[in-house]
Copies of this chain bind each other. A is one copy, B any other.
Amino acid sequence: MAYKDEQLNEEKVFKDPVHRYIHVKDQVIWDLIAAPEFQRLRRIKQLGTTNLTFHGAEHSRFNHSLGVYEIVRRIITNFEDKPHWNKGERLLCLCAALLHDLGHGPFSHSFEKVFKLDHEYFTQQIIIGDTTIHKILERVSEGFSKKVADVIAKTYEDKLVVSLISSQIDADRMDYLQRDAYFTGVSYGHFDMERILRVMRPIDDQVVIKSSGMHAVEDYIMSRYQMYWQVYFHPVTRSAEVILSKILHRAKFLYEKNYSFKLEPIHFISFFKEKVDLTDYLKLDESIVFYYFQVWQEEDDAILSDLCERFMNRRLFKYVEFNPNRQMNEWMELYQLFQEAEIDPEYYLEVDSSSDLPYDFYRPGEEEERLPIHLLMPGGELKELSRHSDIVESISGKKRTDHKLYFPADFLANLNEESPVKERIMELLYHQGADK
């Protein structure tokens, strides 16, 4: 029997708290899960620093990747007897679902910004490069790995396949909303996925939703909206992200200044040089990062050791509301005051902004073209979701942004009580509303 058709003797299951069971029948999927590059995802948290705010959020990307695979598996099973659906794409869909996050590293967001990396690039590299994953995929058929990579990169020609993994209502989002809600314990991630799966229909090059299921989709959009603002953009989590970025910046800066680290940061050097190859990248999981952060607590550089100590012991920055448009003068004054107070503002004063567009209709030609969700009406025509749903219409296309200013309240508290610098800093930070 061809490798692509090989089935396990008995279906295997993984117990999953979100989907109850993850079902695996294909030998290919089983082999991919066992590959070292996939097992590595166990050592990378799905939500980075969020566990410092919601202590339950300690789940890994391994966890989530299995979930996305399972959702796609269920969608496809429903599609089997539907027109427009090409059964030959089944294994491709499952592989792309399973592997879509393969290139994520630890704390991706901060690492990518500081070291100018792109996890999507590494996902591609792992799939088409010299890896166990690649070998397994090529056993399926020559060029299969490239197809999987294309689906994940959204360049695959069959857009229907692409849309299962990447659209405004895809398996990726449906899994992470539910999973992150489960592990954080918040009540926002509930929507009736089983119903959504039942009303999904493949039509030409997209997945549409039977209009009778519109309310379940509304619930999903609201769930997404709430999760972004209540969990993903939580200011305490962002505070930890700010510190993390500052650590990476400082370490890079020190390296560039030929600072002599007590322990040679071998795992980081290619990152500092911004010349990261696949081998280096795959080695860097969260344990490695934590190892260095712990060791760096004992470095002589006061800034690096302080920031690392803050991160490891959750001694985070405080924050106040900040409006970058109206408050630039205040920011500049604060910058200068921090310098006077000998608290380096490059590392200890930061404006962080979050913004989200909970749902968007299609605006061709714009930076990020987002394909809209279409409802399939009883008569057979398609209708864009926000034209049919009041609720979705109300938040559609509306970007919401939130800015906060982060700083070390403990340092400020320690400033000389008499000093006018302290007084003025306090006035600028707190005159407008309380720190929460």
Contact = CB atoms under 8 A, between A and B. Distances in A.
Interface of A: 13-18, 20-21, 34, 36, 39, 42-43, 51-52, 54-56, 58-60, 62-63, 66, 182-188, 190-192, 194-195, 198, 212, 215-216, 218-219, 222, 225-226, 229-230, 283, 285-291, 294, 312-315, 378-379, 390-391, 393-395, 398, 400, 433-434, 436
Contact of A283 (B18, B42, B294): B294
Nearest to A189: B190
Contacts of A191: 187
Nearest to A313: B36
Contacts of A192: 186-188
Count this chain's copies in the assembly: 4
Main secondary structure of the interface of A (DSSP, over half): helix
Nearest to A132: B313
A32 to B, nearest CB: 13
A277 B290 CA distance: 22
B391 A182 contact: no
5 smallest CB-CB distances across A and B, nearest first, come from: A394-B394, A17-B185, A287-B290, A291-B291, A287-B287
Contacts of A230: 215
* Most-contacted residue by chain B among A229, A379, A391 (CB, 10 A): A391
A210 to B, nearest CB: 9
Given A187-B190, A187-B191, A287-B287, A56 B56 contact: no
A140 to B, nearest CB: 21
A55 B51 contact: no
Contacts of A60: 51, 55, 58
B182 A20 contact: no
Nearest to A211: B436
B17 A56 contact: yes
A4 B182 CA distance: 36
A314 B36 CA distance: 8
A195 B14 CA distance: 11
Contacts of A394: 390-391, 393-395
Nearest to A59: B58
Contact of A190 (B14, B16, B190, B315): B190
A207 to B, nearest CB: 18
